[in-house]
Amino acid sequence: MRGAKARALAALAEQAERTVSVPAACPLCGRAIPADQRDAHHLVPKSKGGRHTIDLHRICHRQIHAVLTETELARSYHSVEQLLAHPALRSFVDWVRTKPDDFFVRTRKSDRVRRR
Ligand SMILES: [Zn+2]
Ligand SMILES: [Zn+2]
């Protein structure tokens, strides 16, 4: 019986540990963020005086900056709700949701953003 109790305790401890180390969910796509894919995003760009950051997948973060300029972010996309309302980000989220949590590919900037 002692063995079973020890196993139960070990399972509990393991569960507690997992709860602590469970990565936060990405506010953009809702998937868990593995530690090596975590990126901090300034809702208002640092260059525009923003200080508050949110944790996102690197790929989700890159996508935001591939689609929007810092001026657009500061002016109209400084909340998760606003970002999700952007059609290009909306379709990105629908797509990336079907991928594993640690999925990452290089993000191409749209010509529109790159040209500035
Ligand atoms: Zn994400
Ligand atoms: Zn950012």
Domain spans of the chain? 22-114
Cα 18 to middle of ligand 2, angstroms: 28
Relative to the alpha carbon of 47, which ligand is closest? 2
At residue 8, the pLDDT reads 84
Cα 26 to middle of ligand 1, angstroms: 5
Burial of 39 per CB tally in 10 Å (0-12, 13-18, 19+): middle
The tokens for 43 are 């809702």
Domain 22-114 carries which CATH code?
1.10.30
At residue 49, the pLDDT reads 94
Return contacts of 43-47, CB within 8 angstroms, 24+ apart.
Answer: 43/73, 43/78, 43/79, 43/80, 44/73, 44/74, 44/78, 45/70, 45/73, 45/74
Cα 12 to middle of ligand 2, angstroms: 38
Relative to the alpha carbon of 29, which ligand is closest? 1
Relative to the alpha carbon of 56, which ligand is closest? 1
Query: Which tens digits make up the pLDDT trace of 7-42?
Result: 888 887 776 665 555 568 999 999 999 999 999 999
Relative to the alpha carbon of 67, which ligand is closest? 2
40 vs 34: CA distance, rounded Å: 13
At residue 4, the pLDDT reads 83
Query: Which tens digits make up the pLDDT trace of 84-114?
Result: 999 999 999 999 999 999 998 877 788 888 8
